[in-house]
Amino acid sequence: MLTAEHFLVDGETYIDDYNVEIARWSNSHWASTIPPLYAILTDYRIILQPHTRKHYDPAIIPTSYIHNVTQLNAQRHGIMLHLRTGHRIGMFVSGDHNHELMGNLRRMRPPKPNFKIEGDFNIDTIQRIIDFFAMP
């Protein structure tokens, strides 16, 4: 698995990283999916990478696509990311870092106009990770 430093570009600052699991609504309750994800938070984006031996390209969500962050109404600590694309991504947060992650996501700011990350946001990366976890 690649480290946070691998993903940083010039002008980007690492904030923190978290272990999360995608929360999927199933049989009238939220259930976690496998494998868990390594969520790297920078000042301009969140990078989601599966904890697997096989290499997968990460799903990258720029801050400008995050519309809102709310508490996941579940028995476990979790958050719901509301994206401007209309997608919602529920995540269980390992440990007691739920409020910390929510606060950090709410404080993220949109990138400066001259800040450029190679490979613009592509909704296919989000759909790929959704499809990966949607399989039974």
Q: What is the residue-level pLDDT of the chain in tens, covering all 136 positions?
A: 556 666 777 778 888 888 899 888 888 888 888 888 889 998 888 888 887 777 777 888 888 888 888 988 888 888 898 988 888 989 998 877 777 888 888 777 665 555 555 555 566 766 776 666 654 4
Domains and CATH numbers, the chain: 13-111 (2.30.29.30)
My answer on whether omega of the bond before 50 falls inside 30° of 0, hence cis, is no
Contact 61, 46 (CB under 8 A): yes
CB 46 within 8 A of CB 39: yes
SS3 (DSSP) at 15: strand
Assigned token pair, 85: 């694309």
Coil, helix or strand for 59? Answer: strand
Residues near 29 by beta carbon (within 8 Å), at least 6 away in sequence: 74, 75
